[in-house]
Structure 1
Amino acid sequence: MTPAPAELPSWIRRMVGSGYLLPVLFCAALLEAIIIPIPLELMLIPLLLLEPRRRWLLASVALAGCLCGALLGYWFGNWLFDSLGQWLLEVLDATDAYDRFVQTLANEGFMAIVVVGVTPVPFQVAMLAAGAADYPLTSFMLAATLARGIRYFGLAVLVQLFGEQAMTLFRRHARPLGLTLLAMALLGYGLNWWLTG
């Protein structure tokens, strides 16, 4: 059973009333994009429940924080991959995912970044690979905006439609939904290759 707003963690309720909600959410999104392996959604959904009038603003702030983190991750990949980038991949246990994504990035580019941004694959992999491979920054940021916009604004829509049941729905269906989106993207790649090949 999803907690009612009154039963949500006290620190979330205190944050909503503190006046620091937007800066804290921005920083949390930035840190989640760079290194923290805890999904931002676990914080964002309760906030969306508690602040229905600012739902779209909260999603926008989360997106802005994530994009700043994505820019930093791209920079790490571009300039510091041999030292800090390799270390970050080891900390996240994402070295194999990185190697696979580099090949996908070389073949698929933009859509590969979008798919990683929407699915449960760590987004740090896409940031580091895009930077290390000198993938065009404008295209990378556009793909990151599209992917994370779908994710955060999609959560806002989910909360608007289902209210307190959104947390249960998210926990139950996040992985299958991500894998379904991944399968659809791969199907699209295959169809595109078949039609243009």
Structure 2
Amino acid sequence: MSEWIHMFETWLMDYGVWGLILVSFADSSFFPIPPDVLLIPMSIANPDNALLYAFYTTAASVIGALFGWWIGKKLGRPVLVYLFKEERIQKVEDYFNKFGPMAILIAGLTPVPYKIFTIFAGVSGIRIRVLVIWSIIGRGFRFFLEAIIIMTLGEKAKPFIEENFAMLSFVVGAVLVILYIGYVMIKKKRNSVQ
């Protein structure tokens, strides 16, 4: 399987920006290859365009999230059961119950399969506007951070990202969750006083 994925990555690299856009769209809705596998080497090869590549990746990923939402809305929970293990679906459901739509942000930042969150957003009836906002923030932060790291570290960026990016994205996600919970608590407190 990994040989097949590597061959497909190589094939997509031949298409440059269009391959990056295609995999970014597909990753957010149905495809197992994350866009980072193209974004990182393309940005290292051409660091002057790293931010532009991050923009393309983010935009295509958000559009793909809308397609994932549509899949969930039209095909419902059976498509989740067909594509993913029940334990993964349950974890995503727990995230949505605990964090609400902010679960989309967490998934957008971290290396968890984003498509399961976008499809579940459609199944659970999350509003499109909410999906788009949290997807832009989560996916944008992730891909632009990768681009900035590449512009800063150059060739050394790839091993740095491979070794540290998962932890870095989890830490950023945790900080954002804490800030969001604090915001919700302050808002509830203000509303109860009035």
Normalised-by-shorter TM-score class: 0.7 to 0.9
Residue of structure 1 equivalent to 2:3: none
Once residues 55 and 182 of structure 2 are traced to their aligned partners in structure 1, the CA distance between those partners, rounded to angstroms, is 33
Please state if 1:37 is matched with 2:24. no
Residue in 2 that maps onto 1:71: 66
Contact 2:28 2:114 in 1 (8 A): yes
Moved more, 103-112 or 132-141: 103-112
Residues 176 and 82 from structure 1, CA distance in 2 versus in 1: closer, same or farther, beyond 3 angstroms?
closer
Conservation of the 8 A alpha-carbon contact between 1:115 and 1:181: no
Of 112, 121, 129, 1:130 maps to 121
Identical aligned pairs, as a percentage? Answer: 24
In the alignment, structure 2 segments of 5+ residues that lack a partner are 1-9, 190-194
Report Cα offsets for 1:153-180 as digits up to 9, x if no partner: 1111111111111101100002211221
Partner residue in 2 for 1:8: none
Q: Tell me the equivalent position of 2:6.
A: none
TM alignment of 1:99-118, pairs within 5 A: 99-118=90-109
- Change in Cα spacing, 1:110 to 1:82, as seen in structure 2 (3 Å) is closer
Q: Secondary structure at the match of 1:164?
A: helix
TM-score (norm 2): 0.80
* Alignment-derived partner of residue 132 in structure 2: 141
RMSD between superposed Cα atoms in Å = 2.2
Deviation at 1:188, TM superposition (A): 3.0
Equivalences, count: 178
**TM-score, with structure 1 as normaliser:** 0.79
Which whole-Å deviations, capped at 9, do the CAs of 1:29-81 have from their partners, x for residues lacking one?
Answer: 12222233333212211100112232222112211221222111101111102
- Between the aligned partners of 1:53 and 1:194, the Cα distance in structure 2 is 42
Report if the CA contact (8 A) 1:76-1:85 is conserved: no
Q: Which runs of 4+ in 1 moved over 6 A?
A: none
Comparing 62-71 and 177-186, the one that deviates more: 177-186
Q: Which region of structure 1 is more displaced relative to structure 2, 102-111 or 70-79?
A: 102-111
Distance in 2 (CA, whole Å) between partners of 1:193 and 1:156 is 32
Aligned residue for 1:161?
152
